[in-house]
Amino acid sequence: MQTRIRERELAKLTHRIGDAFFDTVESCQPHVLQAEWWHDWLMNQWMRDEELKVQTFRLIDALPALRSDEEIARHLREYLSFTRDGQRDAHAASADSPGGVQAANGEPPLRNLIAAAVGFRNPRGLWARCAARAARSAAIRMARTFIAGRDPDEAEQTIRAMRNRQLAFTIDVLGEAAVSESEAEAYQRTYLHLINELCRHAESWPHEPLTDLGDGVPIPKVNVSVKLTSIYSKLDPIAADAVCAAVKDRLRPLLRAGMRHGAHIHIDMEHYAVKDLTLRICREVFCESEFRDYPHFGIVLQAYLKDGDRDVADTVEWVRRRGTPIWVRLVKGAYWDTETVLARQRHWPCPVWEQKWQSDACYERMTRVLLENHEHICGAFASHNIRSLSHALALRQLLDVPRHRFELQMLYGMGDPLKRACVRMGERCRVYT
């Protein structure tokens, strides 16, 4: 039964929760003497320089193919050398120009400090070798910031550390879409191994009330997110019937493994071209008699899509027919650049909102629909935007949504003060890992 909400009351409560959220986040910021502070500062400086950011990503993309310190040193000099006026020039930096220009406040611009570091003349020299090894080490550290581990055992150590900080998790297998059926089958085996191994490890994890209970209702300790494009290489909506049948065959063993262990299995949403196909597969397989009564499955809806309002309404209607609640992770969406460029190139209608405020507004509309239907849907609100999270928290309070049917979600390696603030506020925060 829906509760009638006054808009003014919702706005005031959202504002009040937002103020408290900001204050808590501020108190959770790292101290200047902590390594996290310096890491965050350096990343912020790096991201502000668009050209430096692009050149760095190009270098990182090339690193796996570089076998020797000399090769890395050459690429460092070619990608990250800048002239003294701050313009990029692969031949400008030298050992004779270590300082670069000064910023207006006397602080050397970051790109000039980097140019000085890669200003060696001989890529075989000691300086060059040290720079190459430092670059390789920095790339590995950066990867570890965003990747939980190379295998289930390594990932389990990361998960234990998160649980020690009262953070829940959902874990994905790193990789892009499978390009062959042999690769897709390998991904399926990897997912099965991940589910089985994490559930085995979970038996020894200490109980954590904030992550494992909601109003006394148990919540699965293990939560795995699955990309359908990784377990089937031909996810093409043109052959929808055949593709649906094939993907469901590939997906059922993962769902059975999750049910056998009492784990949560969540199906990720990807690019727009496969959105409707993904929803169809989920709706069909989750309603099969074998899976219909299991409450620990989930899907993703994207608020940056112009279809968002329709998708959430259709989802509510479908879950009502299913009869067993299902989790919906609400995200803004991660493919905005790709979708807009593709639509422009092919002269198609753009499927995503062109302005950020439109996505934010759609997110709040979809949040409200999900929480107004909490008898049928469990809402997971994934965002690093305090306004969006505060709005969800305000609606949760006004609609009296049970805690076992509500949580916040954030990305691994980003916004750690925000996650700490959620924990201090007594909210379950699940980290997409």
**Per-position b or e across 33-51, b if 16+ CB within 10 A of its CB:** eeeeeeeeeeeeeeeebee
| Among 422, 352, 354, 346, CA closest to 383 | 422
pLDDT at 298 over 50: yes
Question: What is the pLDDT at residue 2?
Answer: 53
Question: What is the pLDDT at residue 140?
Answer: 78
Would you say how long the chain is, in residues? 433
Q: Residue 431: helix, strand or coil by DSSP?
A: strand
pLDDT tens readout for residues 150-191: 788 889 999 999 999 999 999 999 877 899 999 999 999 999
pLDDT at 245 over 90: yes
Highest mean pLDDT among 55-64, 75-84, 127-136, 207-216: 207-216
Number of C-beta neighbours around residue 79 at 10 A: 21
What's the mean pLDDT in 34-54? 78
Give the model's confidence band at 99: pLDDT under 50 very low, under 70 low, under 90 confident, else very high.
Answer: very low
Give the model's confidence band at 127: pLDDT under 50 very low, under 70 low, under 90 confident, else very high.
Answer: confident
Question: What is the pLDDT at residue 3?
Answer: 61
Question: What is the pLDDT at residue 77?
Answer: 87
- CA–CA gap between residue 100 and residue 110 (Å, rounded): 10
Question: What is the pLDDT at residue 228?
Answer: 97
Q: How far is CA 395 from CA 7, 70, 299, 402, in A?
A: 11, 58, 21, 12
pLDDT tens readout for residues 341-370: 999 999 999 999 999 999 999 999 999 999
What token pair was written down for 152? 């289930």
- CA–CA gap between residue 136 and residue 63 (Å, rounded): 8
pLDDT at 101 over 60: no
What's the mean pLDDT in 51-61? 83
Domain range 7-29+147-432, CATH architecture: Alpha-Beta Barrel (3.20)
pLDDT at 277 over 90: yes
What's the mean pLDDT in 134-141? 81
pLDDT at 91 over 80: no
**Per-position b or e across 414-428, b if 16+ CB within 10 A of its CB:** ebbbbbbbbbeeebb
Which residue in this structure is represented by tokens 């050398």? 81
Give the model's confidence band at 95: pLDDT under 50 very low, under 70 low, under 90 confident, else very high.
Answer: very low
Contacts of 243 (CB under 8 A, 6+ apart): 232, 234, 235, 236, 237, 277
Beta strand 213-214 pairing with 217-218: antiparallel
Question: What is the pLDDT at residue 100?
Answer: 38
Give the model's confidence band at 82: pLDDT under 50 very low, under 70 low, under 90 confident, else very high.
Answer: low
- CA–CA gap between residue 116 and residue 10 (Å, rounded): 54
Percent of the chain with pLDDT over 70: 93
Question: What is the pLDDT at residue 80?
Answer: 84
pLDDT at 98 over 60: no
- CA–CA gap between residue 433 and residue 410 (Å, rounded): 9
- CA–CA gap between residue 211 and residue 330 (Å, rounded): 19
| Among 22, 6, 28, 5, CA closest to 387 | 22
Question: What is the pLDDT at residue 109?
Answer: 66
Which residue in this structure is represented by tokens 């295998």? 151
- CA–CA gap between residue 293 and residue 287 (Å, rounded): 8
Which residue did the predictor score with more confidence, 193 or 115? 193
Q: Residue 68: helix, strand or coil by DSSP?
A: coil
Question: What is the pLDDT at residue 169?
Answer: 98
- CA–CA gap between residue 135 and residue 69 (Å, rounded): 10
| Cβ atoms of 261 and 295 closer than 8 Å | no
Contacts of 227 (CB under 8 A, 6+ apart): 172, 173, 177, 268, 270
What's the mean pLDDT in 136-157? 80
Give the model's confidence band at 25: pLDDT under 50 very low, under 70 low, under 90 confident, else very high.
Answer: very high
Which residue in this structure is represented by tokens 């991904």? 187
First to last CA, the chain: 35
pLDDT tens readout for residues 229-240: 999 999 999 999
| Residue-range domain boundaries for the chain | 7-29+147-432, 35-145
Q: Residue 121: helix, strand or coil by DSSP?
A: coil
Question: What is the pLDDT at residue 90?
Answer: 43
| Among 223, 235, 283, CA closest to 429 | 223
Global pTM value? 0.86
Which residue in this structure is represented by tokens 């049910």? 259
Q: How far is CA 393 from CA 10, 98, 127, 386, in A?
A: 10, 52, 53, 10
Contacts of 261 (CB under 8 A, 6+ apart): 195, 196, 199, 222
pLDDT tens readout for residues 394-417: 999 999 999 999 999 999 988 899
**Alpha helix (H) residue ranges in 227-307:** 228-231, 240-261, 275-286
Contacts of 98 (CB under 8 A, 6+ apart): 116, 119
